[in-house]
Amino acid sequence: MKLKINFHSIAILFGFLTLPCFSAESMDCVRAKPVPIFEIPSSVKNYSFLSTSEQEAKESFILPSGIPVSIFHSGCENFGLKLHFTITDEGHALSETNYWLQKASALLAEVKNSGKVNHIPSIQRGISQAIKAGSYKYNEPIETIEGYEYNYFKINSLANNKYELIITHVVAL
């Protein structure tokens, strides 16, 4: 009996046999494991970095001005940072977007001045663009590098004149 080789069948069989080797858990991530954006946290208090998974991490600290900050890292094909600042403020409405963008810019400057930090200059550039445009709407993308890098800005009102400023920075890798 002569054995007839069907390359199509062999290719399908090979694909099924090797499928577990290429599962989501074992594929190399473009971004690699998260690393702190704070390379040298010199003047912040209570600094911590916690890798919560292969693609996620959380940094937290208190700025010299006493403002708590949390930075959430995530991503594989796309990289994202979400910076959360909890601040106290009186007398400004949520609709005053330029005021809140300027506040965010000042907070980013304080983060940048508190140690060697990655990604902050790009985020500051995006916020500056939004301030200059003067008509920013929360959660709209602020494009800093066309088709590659975006920032989003949002603010939540909490109790007792407290607000949570959230800046999201997304990069396509």
Tens-place pLDDT, residues 35-86: 787 776 678 899 999 998 888 999 999 999 999 999 998 888 788 899 999 9
Beta-carbon count within 10 A of 11 CB: 9
Residue 86, classified by CB atoms within 10 Å of its CB into exposed (0-12), middle (13-18) or buried (19+), is: middle
Which contacts qualify for 157-161: CB closer than 8 Å, 24 or more apart?
A: 157/94, 158/86, 160/88, 161/88, 161/89, 161/90
Helices (H), ranges, 19-165: 97-113, 120-133
Which amino acid makes up residue 138?
Answer: Y
Once rounded to an integer, what is the mean pLDDT over residues 6-28? 39
Domain segments of the chain as ranges: 30-172
Q: Which value, to the nearest 10 degrees, does the dihedral of the CA atoms of residues 102, 108, 110, 111 take? A: 170
Return the pLDDT at 8: 38
Chain segment 87-109, per-residue pLDDT in tens? 998 889 999 999 999 999 999 99
Once rounded to an integer, what is the mean pLDDT over residues 114-136? 87
| Predicted model pTM | 0.78
Q: How confident is the model at residue 13 (pLDDT cuts 50, 70, 90)?
A: very low
Computed over every residue of the chain, the mean pLDDT equals 81
Return the pLDDT at 15: 36
Lowest mean pLDDT among 24-33, 38-47, 56-65, 157-166: 24-33
Return the pLDDT at 68: 95
